[in-house]
Chain A
Amino acid sequence: MATLQLKQIKKSFGETDVIKGVDLDVNDKEFVVFVGPSGCGKSTLMRMIAGLESATSGDILIDGQRMNEVGPADRGLAMVFQSYALYPHMTVEDNMGFSMRLAGVSKEKRREKVLEAAKILQLEPLLDRKPKALSGGQRQRVAIGRAIVRNPSIFLFDEPLSNLDAALRVQMRIELARLHEELDATMIYVTHDQIEAMTMADKIVVLQGGEIEQVGSPMELYHHPRNRFVAGFIGSPKMNFLPVEVVEADIRGVSVKLPGGGVTKVPADGEGLRPGTALELGIRPEHLVLDDDQGPLTGEIQVLERLGGQTSLYVQMGETMMTIMADGDVAHRVHDKVRFGFPPGRAHLFNADGLTLPSLEQHPLAGLRRQDNRVSSEISDQ
């Protein structure tokens, strides 16, 4: 059992508030990802959980025990650093066994545990090497091994993949997901890369300016972002935003006038909205559809990126640049005028405060977690 609770956690450096009151529950065996732009406080939050930074106020509870005053080593956590932070003067084996050496564990016992972890990570042939004789991916695995050996109740990862090249990053991502399953441990992972967040998390915590913007499963965040920031941050390429005007609104939907003059009815709760109110409409590039006959939006292609299976179109529409993910074999060229549209159910509406108008339709996958993926794959295997 390993749960983590944060209650009204605040952190200030002098006059500046870096974390402005964070409440969060992390359940046992959950893979939680803190994501946000740089400077959002995600690393500080993790360092406070680790005990490397003290909280200005609030409570940090691990398995229900208040840990604010407990030292980093006694919280039952292990951390993997962005720089790996291996001890350069020690061999891989000594690196992994250092915590046990400090704890006074016998040499045989130490070796046994190190070997066990090395086996999981395929590090056995490297045990006698020093870190500088290892590749980036191997160093990363040693850093993870050092964490595993401590047998922690919660693993902390601070942007562990950002120093690796793209191919290795994908490979390590898969390895980490596998490790999570194998170790059955609670993991907290900090990244600025929303793809890492989407692919690995059971639960994503989106942070901005020291505050939590939204907590939810990847699909929940993708389909039901709580506000404009989350909508823009989650998903790649980024969501398109258009200024629209309310024509008619009630609890059954909101009809809005699009920039080209067309009117579309979005299934969102528009109670209390007056006609003429300015809103913002968000639509993801992958939900825009080229429709040369009936598309309510028009624009001119500025850039066209062919990726093979897909084509990204960057379309100038008045003052806004729209991104469209289209088919790989779309025949358009640069400077072509195109018409396009979208299924109204895919659109999001944001009010002047940037908050999303509640959607009337719950997306069927919004409640899906990564564990559910696994269960369903097991079923399909049988």
Chain B
Amino acid sequence: MTTARTKPLSSAEPGQLAQGSSWLGALRNRRLWLGVLGWTVACLIFFPIFWMVLTGFKTEAAAVADPSLIFSPTLDSYAEVQNRANYLHFALNSVVVAFGSTLLALLIAIPSAYSMAFLPTKRTKGTLLWMLSTKMLPPVGVLVPIYLLFRDTGLLDTRTGLIIVYTLMNLPIVVWMLYTFFKDMPKDILEAGRMDGASTLQEVLYLLLPLTLPGIASTGLLAVILSWNEAFWSLNLTSSQAAPLTAYIASFSSPEGLFWAKLSAASTMAIAPILVFGWLTQKQMVRGLTFGAVK
């Protein structure tokens, strides 16, 4: 039946069909090139990570020798790294600080984004821009005052201190992202809730949060990742007690020289949890970051 249908069509309009197929071919070609480009970029980005993981399984001598893909893998570096420092101690600090600061940032950002999105004033846009502008300041510019503040309040080398700094660091981005998600939420729904007798808190809990959950989740995930990978503040404000994994990595680049294999092994262990975490939440991240755009 299909042949019967397609036959007269192709014989009746051969020119049009040929034109159509060449156009289709061009499209397929374009897709192919875009695919090649995409994979090249992905490989370029992934290569350092790949090399790091590889180096972690080499001996210290092989690590500084000619780069080669063929070598006999060893777990020596991992064993030694584990001997020199307690990985779990640092990892726990990372988890507590990353999730703690994210939770705190969300707690502060949700009400502020709510008021900016639904009760804007003349200065809302300015406030948002100002918040973002703080991200343009190099952190080192405020290192000394923050260090002194932390010293005087006893926050140096505490998880609480790091949580506070990370919360402040991520707050502008978190507020901005939540603001855009909240802005996409139809105002009518909240007003209907108000007519139904919802207080502001109930409005947020029963209507706003469930409806913008994908956005909130992706914002939270981003904040976790940013906090996990942060090194500047953790290196400067912690020494041992509250030091997270970024400090753990850095501890293997010592004045006695660089030990590439050990450094790589430590780095691999430090980024592994967040990589797995990112992998698991990938779908959620993409969904959240395109939330509203596809609605």
Contact = CB atoms under 8 A, between A and B. Distances in A.
A71 B191 CA distance: 12
A73 B195 contact: yes
Contacts of A316: none
B189 A72 contact: no
B150 to A, nearest CB: 43
Interface string B171-203: 000000000000000101101111111100010
Nearest to B186: A83
B197 to A, nearest CB: 3
A367 interface: no
23 contacts: A50-B195, A52-B191, A52-B194, A71-B194, A72-B194, A72-B195, A78-B195, A79-B191, A81-B188, A81-B192, A85-B186, A85-B191, A86-B189, A87-B192, A87-B193, A87-B207, A98-B193, A98-B196, A98-B206, A99-B196, A102-B197, A102-B198, A146-B192
Nearest to A150: B196
Contacts of A103: 197
Contacts of B189: 85-88
A60 interface: no
The 7 closest A-B pairs by CB, nearest first: A73-B197, A85-B188, A99-B196, A85-B192, A102-B197, A81-B188, A83-B188
Interface string B205-220: 0110011000000000
A77 B195 contact: yes
A70 B206 CA distance: 23
Given A102-B197, A102-B202, 15 more contacts: A52-B195, A72-B191, A72-B194, A73-B196, A73-B198, A74-B197, A79-B191, A79-B192, A85-B188, A85-B189, A87-B192, A99-B197, A102-B198, A146-B196, A150-B196
A107 interface: no
A81 B197 CA distance: 16
B194 to A, nearest CB: 5
Contacts of B197: 73-74, 99, 102-103
A77 B194 CA distance: 11
Contact of B196 (A52, A88, A89, A102): A102
A333 B149 CA distance: 91
Contacts of B211: 87-89
Contacts of B196: 73, 98-99, 102, 146, 150
Interface of A: 50, 52, 71-74, 77-79, 81-83, 85-89, 98-99, 102-103, 146, 150
A73 B188 contact: no
Nearest to B190: A85
Contacts of A81: 188, 191-192
Contacts of B186: 83, 85
A89 B194 contact: no
Q: Which of B193, B196, B197, B211 has the most CB of A within 10 A?
A: B196
A62 B194 CA distance: 19
A86 B207 CA distance: 11
Nearest to A89: B210
A77 B186 CA distance: 21
A72 B197 CA distance: 7
A231 B233 CA distance: 73
A50 B195 CA distance: 8
Nearest to B211: A89
Interface in B203-248: 206-207, 210-211
Contacts of A89: 210-211
Contacts of A79: 191-192, 195
Nearest to A158: B188
Nearest to A83: B188
A222 B263 CA distance: 88
A228 B210 CA distance: 51
Contacts of B207: 87
B214 to A, nearest CB: 12
Contacts of B202: 102
Contacts of A82: 188
